[in-house]
Amino acid sequence: MSHDLAALQPIHVGFTNCFPIDTGDGLVLIDTGLDTDQNWERLNRGLEERCYSIKDVHWVLLTHAHTDHCGLVHRIKDASNAKIIIHQLEAFFLRQGSGHRSANQERFTRLFLEHGVPERLVQWLFRMGSRSWGRRWEPDPGLFGAEPGHALQWDALAAFEAAETARGGPDVGHAMPAGRRDERHPNVWRFKGIAPDITFDDNEAIELGELRLRSVYTPGHTPGHACFYHDESRVFFAGDHILKRITPNPGVYFVYDQYERRSRSLPDYIRSLMAVRSLPCTRVLGAHEGEMPNMEYAVDRIVMHHERRARTAMSAVRHGRNTTFELLPVLFPALRASGLFPAIGETLGHLDLLEEQGQVVAAFAGGGYVYHPAGA
């Protein structure tokens, strides 16, 4: 059976694109969406509109273990006994569920303190939980004022915390932009871990009925992120590796919960982008937003964004900003509290990248890392 994916359309499960493909022996779903009743209804309705039911799902193929991609797997498995498939390294995070940050609180605390983040701010980050981790779309106060060199505004953090407390306690949910609002749910970003049924490695054929996809290992956004390529149609399922407008965040992870195996996500991410840049594609289908018809343009847009930011970081290091935290207001002058955690991670990522390129040298002194221009 030849599969023509030229007309494939996603089911919009909230803000996540879930791709259902008829394999000739049941359906495969690529990613799922957050675990909410509303998303479950959307998924079932989308399948019914395509003349299928949830019981027709035989496989769930996951690009990575973020909750907005795997949240519904428990419901799908209970309803259809579908097999869950994910990259072998990402399987660790899928089993762990959404508790990676809380399970690694001591490691994150050590990492942030070693990179100049004030202890008071580290405590605030963990006290606020997922509310300070990119979960809100509503504007909140800026942290650094109008000037890049402005000191951290503690009153802005206090205002954010007070507003979030008034909204109903921790993990109150995720509000989408106007016109695409998801329901509020107290556990919307929590995911109980699950063991996959099948794992794969890089460049491995994934046989799904009469459909054959090829795995493309793309670490960066997460350590085990993977994309999928259909050779016949030249369709590329990009997950969060490449998106149309958003620049995916290279996160900070401790692989197998080991401090010494802290991910160097941004260098990995740039390598992964360049590895797929020349892949011949008719369609590039991201897990969010719309599709991208041109792989090279999509990759170059993201790479150039990080190159510009790296030049800014290098200039700041030359001018005496020598820690991750000191670089934060330079790279993210308009930073708000809801983006603080990923912004710290990306700033560290730029220093990792500059160090790998031989432009800066890291030295451990006085309990923390300082960065200086190479040869200085």
pLDDT in tens, 156-207: 899 888 887 777 644 433 334 433 344 444 457 778 899 999 999 999 999 9
Q: Whole-angstrom Cα distance, residue 86 to residue 83?
A: 10
Q: Nearest to residue 318, comparing CAs of 327, 306, 329? A: 327
Per-residue pLDDT, 183 = 44
Q: Is 240 left (phi over 0), alpha (psi -120 to 50) or beta?
A: alpha
Please name the CATH architecture into which domain 11-98+192-300 falls.
Answer: 4-Layer Sandwich (3.60)
- With a threshold of 0.85, does the pTM exceed it? yes
Within the chain, strands assigned E span 11-13, 16-22, 27-30, 57-61, 83-87, 198-200, 205-208, 211-217, 226-230, 235-239, 283-286, 360-365, 368-373
| Contact in structure between 63 and 89 (CB atoms under 8 Å) | no
Residue 317 tokens read as 């290091």
Task: Read off the pLDDT of residues 197-213 as tens digits, 9 standing for 90 and up.
Answer: 999 999 999 999 999 99
Mean predicted lDDT score pLDDT of the chain: 90
Residue 212 tokens read as 């054959």
Per-residue pLDDT, 168 = 60
Average pLDDT over residues 354-362: 97
Amino acid identity of residue 216, one-letter, is V
Q: Domain ranges in the chain?
A: 11-98+192-300, 100-187+316-373
Q: Nearest to residue 134, comparing CAs of 2, 287, 247? A: 247
Per-residue pLDDT, 172 = 34
Residue 59 has pLDDT above 70, yes or no: yes
Pairing of strands 57-61, 83-87: parallel
Query: Which pLDDT band holds residue 131 (cuts at 50, 70, 90)?
Result: low
Question: In angstroms, what is the C-alpha Rg of the chain?
Answer: 21
| Contact in structure between 291 and 284 (CB atoms under 8 Å) | yes
